Amino acid sequence: MAKNWPLARRKRALHQRARILQGIREFFIENGYLEVETPCRIPAPAPESHIDAVPSSTWFLHTSPELCMKRMMAAGYEKVFQICRCWRERERGSLHLPEFTLLEWYGAGGDYRSLMEECEELIRFLAQAIGTGRTIHFRECEVDLSSPWERISVKEAFQRLARTTATEALEKNLFDEIMVQEIEPKLGLRKPTFLYDYPAERGTLARWKSEDPTVAERFELYMGGVELANGFSELVDSEEQRKRFLMENENRQTRGKPIYSMPDRFLAELDDMPPSAGIALGVDRLVMVFLDAKTIDEVVAFTPEEL
Amino acid sequence: MYTASDLRKGLKVIIDGEPYVVTAFEFSKPGKGQALYRTKLRSMITGLSIDRTYREGETFEPASLEERVMQFLYKEGDHYHFMDNESYEQIIISEESLGEAKSFLIDNLNVKVLLFGDRAIGVELPNFVNLRVMKTDPWMRGDTSKADFKPATLETGYELRVPPFIEEGELITIDTRTGEFSKRVKE
């Protein structure tokens, strides 16, 4: 018997993982997307209040390929996808690894609503490819993948599932706690659920809704209470983007976190980007859901603790 | 000093001035939101559990508990008297704080007393203690219909099940971790 039993035991999961990765590529290539690779090591990440990058000499490991992929969009690449490793400091738990795999894709002409549709198609395609069919058994839930999936706005979710409104939660600085304790566990139990229209300050890189600028055109996808993806209609106004980055850096400073230098090249090119939608999907978590894994550890070859 | 990112199962921390041990732990981070550390903590004084969620950067004092070897002297009502084997200082621990341990305390037994500041919050027993059986039914020799175990009461008032051949007045060894009969002591 193999000495490394935990690794030997993951063979089935890692075979399925490989099949899912293949399936993702098939889906996007069939739909006219170009697979791209952008550098993992970058001068600075996008300034965001709660995402910390791992330093690499005087640069950083990217926390997502967002900035480089948007620069490609601005240079005329209209449909791009990437599967890559990303790093986020101090994120470790049953759903978190400090080094993890993200799938990001961007499409010109789309918005967050068309992106939700595309998400549905991708996941149904993958379910077919690995032979799970129309229903996924995950954490005692039977999640039905047939169209349409549930869509609920953040405002409605607070009204229906929490003891306070979203506005009150933000005022009392309890938005994240209520989200984690009262709302997330109830999302995506029978059907995958899109939680959409986040408060504007929770969508730093997203476009604000024209008919209601208090919310950002941003959504998250949940299955079995687990957040899988975060997508939005992209903000393509460089002046507005710079303002928001400065605010995020101010937030970082008040929390005693290092501030990140302005991504000037990204900002200089952003105005060339066509109206688009883009999304990041956690591949490890998607594999977890497909395989009904209890923790993220079960779907990777090595966790940091095993190295 | 610990910060929230140090939290893990088994960590002992001070909360509202009292020592707690972390019994369950989960890291959460809602999309684009802040890191949250959800814990279940058990009070080392009352034994009651609480749920608490902490944010990144919150800090905790470690609960440093002092252990001192002491001898059990005697019981007086609800008060159990112990003596420090080095300083001969005597302390009292309430029956409530002792919890299960009270069933296995016999005079002169050496135990580890856990101190939080000046306050004794419990004792750690040796894994095995010898106690005398005060009451149990006699063994019916040849009676094979009887169960493998019969009830018995020990000198501390503790009740347990013992093999049928154990008789009143005998000394037996108890595993204090499980509270069960371990073996008969030859005297």
Q: Which of A49, A220, A256 sits opposite B31 (nearest CB)?
A: A220
Q: Which two tokens stand for residue A282?
A: 């956690």
Q: In this complex, do A93 and B27 lie within 8 Å of one another by their Cβ atoms?
A: yes
Cβ contact B55:B36 at 8 Å = yes
pLDDT band at B145 (very low <50, low <70, confident <90, very high): low
Give the pLDDT of residue B142.
66
Q: In this complex, do A180 and B38 lie within 8 Å of one another by their Cβ atoms?
A: yes
Chain B touched by A222 (CB under 8 Å): no
Distance, CA of A253 to CA of B128 (rounded, Å): 56
What residues of chain A lie within 8 A of the CB of B28, using their CB? 93, 95, 180
> Rounded to 10 degrees, what is the CA torsion of A12, A14, A16, A20?
180
Residue B147 has pLDDT above 70, yes or no: no
Residue with tokens 């109830």: A186
Question: How many other C-beta atoms lie within 10 A of the C-beta of residue A125?
Answer: 16
Residue B163 has pLDDT above 80, yes or no: yes
Domain spans in chain B, listed from the N-terminal domain onward:
2-62, 66-124, 128-184
CATH hierarchy code of domain B128-184: 2.40.50.140
Least confident among A195-209, A253-267, B94-108: B94-108
Residue with tokens 């001068």: A43
What residues of chain A lie within 8 A of the CB of B32, using their CB? 48, 50-51, 198, 202-204, 230
Chain A touched by B54 (CB under 8 Å): no
The share of chain A scoring above pLDDT 70, in percent, equals 100
Homologous superfamily, domain B66-124: Nucleic acid-binding proteins (2.40.50.140)
Report the SS3 class of residue B11: coil
Give the pLDDT of residue A178.
96
- ipTM of model: 0.90
A198-245 residue pLDDT tens: 999 999 999 999 999 999 999 999 999 999 999 999 999 999 999 999
Cβ contact A79:A276 at 8 Å = no
| One-letter amino acid of A5 | W
CATH architecture of B2-62: Roll (2.30)
From 3.30.930.10, 3.40.50.300, 3.40.50.720, 2.60.120.10, which CATH number describes the A5-132+196-306 domain? 3.30.930.10
Chain B touched by A56 (CB under 8 Å): no
Residues 55-114 of B with CB under 8 A from A: 56-57
Cβ contact A279:A259 at 8 Å = no
What residues of chain B lie within 8 A of the CB of A203, using their CB? 32
Give the pLDDT of residue B69.
93
Reported pTM: 0.80
Domain spans in chain A, listed from the N-terminal domain onward:
5-132+196-306
Partnered with residue B92 across adjacent β-strands are B81
Least confident among A88-92, B61-65, B143-147, B157-161: B143-147
A207-219 residue pLDDT tens: 999 999 999 999 9
